[in-house]
Structure formats: structure tokens, C-alpha cells
Amino acid sequence: MIDNKISIIGDPVVDIQRSAIGHRSTWTGLTYTKARDAGKAEEAEKIIREAIVETGKIQGAEIKAKCQDPENVTCFIETFLTPTNLKTYEVEYRTKTEDRVYLEFHHCPLLKAWQDLGFDDATCEKLCDMAMDGDRTIAETMGFEFKLEDTIADGCKTCQITYFKK
């Protein structure tokens, strides 16, 4: 069972960001489930993944251009995850060096939107994996490796993500 807890409540900027992220994930979730219900799940997943990968390439290039030392994983993560993003996803650093950053995300606003829509756990897990294609592609665009371990959508307490040099 998915437990997508939230502990940062009442921060106006975080609330606005979570709402925007949730709105975006509602579109993706409904696009996928409507296509699935019409018997076109494979086609929809392929198209959604392609769009998310393209978004990751764009976002990765923007981050790389802003990062003062794009070969430093800490510089990358501090450019990518703003203080508002850290609070939005309730992120905790476990390791933070120039070669490796290991993070735990305690909340996911995308997942919250899918849960609010009443999607079952398997659908949430599928949508989460599709969404993570963006993060995988951002890492690739930066020239880093990406490792996704536990996810909240898979019933774990946190999402565990590591970015590291190849």
C-alpha cells in the first residue's frame, strides 16, 4: 500500500508548486488511463515516455548551461533542486559529494495527484516509472549515471535516488 506522506504543510510557495506539479501529472495520468481504457496502453506509454525523455533533454541542457561546474554532481544537484524543490518533495540528502549525490524523497506531488484521481497502486507505479524517464534523461544529458532504488509508488517509505559520475 502506498503511503505518500506529507509533513511540510502551509508553505504558500511549496503549496503552489505542488499544485502545479499535480496539475501536470493529472494530464499525464488521465492521458495514459484514457488510452489504456481504449485499448491503446502500449501506444500511449510509448508516446508519453518519448515526450518525457524529450522534456528531460531540454531540462538537462538548461541545467547544464546554468551549472558553474557541470562535471560536479553537487553543483548539478544544487542547480536542479532549488530550495523550493527540496521542500516540495521533502528531500533529504544522504550523501553529497562532487562525485555522488544520494537523496531520499519523502513526498511526491505527482503521485499525490494520481492517488487523488483514485488510480490503483499498479497504475501509480507505472506512471511513476514513466515520469522517472525525465530524471534518467536529465542525468544522461549531464553525463552522469542515475540509480533509482526504492520508490513511494512501489510502497516504500521514500524514493531513493543517486546521481553519480560515470
pLDDT for the residue 51: 97
What's the pTM value of the predicted model, to 2 decimals? 0.94
Residue-level pLDDT at 27: 96
Distance CA 163, CA 70 (A): 13
Q: What pLDDT, on a 0 to 100 scale, did the predictor assign at position 130? A: 98
Q: For the chain of 166 residues, list the mean pLDDT of each consecutive stretch of 10.
A: 91 97 97 98 98 97 96 96 97 97 97 97 97 98 97 96 96
Residue 1, pLDDT score:
79
- State the pLDDT at residue 143: 97
Contact 64, 141 (CB under 8 A): yes
d(CA 58, CA 71): 18
Task: Say how far apart CA 52 and CA 22 lie, in whole Å.
Answer: 16
Q: What is the architecture, at CATH level 2, of domain 12-165?
A: 2-Layer Sandwich (3.30)
What are the extents of the domains in the chain?
12-165
